């Protein structure tokens, strides 16, 4: 594990650390103070968490089926990590799940953004919800507030993007990729 203190990197071998790769998605659960790592498993997605000292692999009895390229971010208003879409068996998915640290919950709201893989997802404090953009050939923007999705009308939408990153900055949202 590499740790950055603002000036330098330090490295340590962590016993029990999962083998994470480019398919892994990360979110910081600010409510519980843990980094949540999500990766495809044999049948379901696998959840691993880092508390700053050790890794935890958290089995779940139910949850989202295994997939690649889901959107994944922490929602501080609901104190949960949210997974949206991804690809399984060559098809894009349009399901939405919440992870509270022990249980997956299928979030079924009103209209949804529809199947998409490689979308960008991040919390926007000024908009009070998670913002989802792009994925596959989509140029639409959606906001998740609670369990309800709302299409967001935008001007000057960027070209279709997959595997982009979306983060909040002091002026709004920054889309890269």
From first to last of its 177 residues, what are the pLDDT tens digits of the chain?
Answer: 677 888 888 877 776 678 888 889 999 999 999 999 999 988 999 999 998 888 888 887 789 999 999 999 999 999 999 999 999 999 999 999 999 999 999 997 667 899 999 999 999 988 889 999 988 877 889 999 888 899 898 888 777 776 778 888 777 778 877
Q: E strand or H helix at 92, and its extent?
A: strand 91-99
| Distance, CA of 50 to CA of 57 (rounded, Å) | 9
Largest CA distance in the chain: 49
Pairing of strands 80-88, 71-75: antiparallel
| Distance, CA of 41 to CA of 45 (rounded, Å) | 5
| Distance, CA of 72 to CA of 86 (rounded, Å) | 10
User: Is the separation of the CB atoms in 83 and 38 below 8 Å?
Assistant: yes
């Amino acid at each position: 594990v590499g740790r950055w203190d603002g000036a330098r990197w330090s490295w340590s071998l962590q016993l029990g650390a999962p083998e994470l790769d480019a398919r892994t998605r990360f979110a910081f659960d600010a409510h519980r103070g843990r980094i949540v790592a999500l990766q495809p498993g044999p049948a379901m997605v696998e959840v691993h968490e880092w508390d700053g000292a050790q890794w935890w692999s958290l089995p779940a009895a139910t949850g989202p089926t295994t997939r690649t390229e889901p959107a994944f971010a922490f929602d501080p208003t609901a104190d949960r990590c949210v997974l949206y879409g991804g690809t399984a068996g060559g098809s894009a998915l349009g399901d939405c799940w919440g992870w509270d640290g022990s249980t997956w919950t299928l979030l079924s709201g009103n209209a949804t953004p529809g199947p998409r893989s490689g979308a960008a997802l991040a919390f926007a404090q000024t908009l009070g919800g998670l913002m989802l953009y792009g994925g596959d050939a989509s140029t639409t923007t959606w906001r998740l507030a609670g369990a309800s999705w709302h299409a967001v009308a935008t001007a000057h939408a960027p070209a279709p993007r997959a595997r982009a990153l979306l983060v909040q900055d002091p002026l709004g949202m920054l889309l890269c990729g």
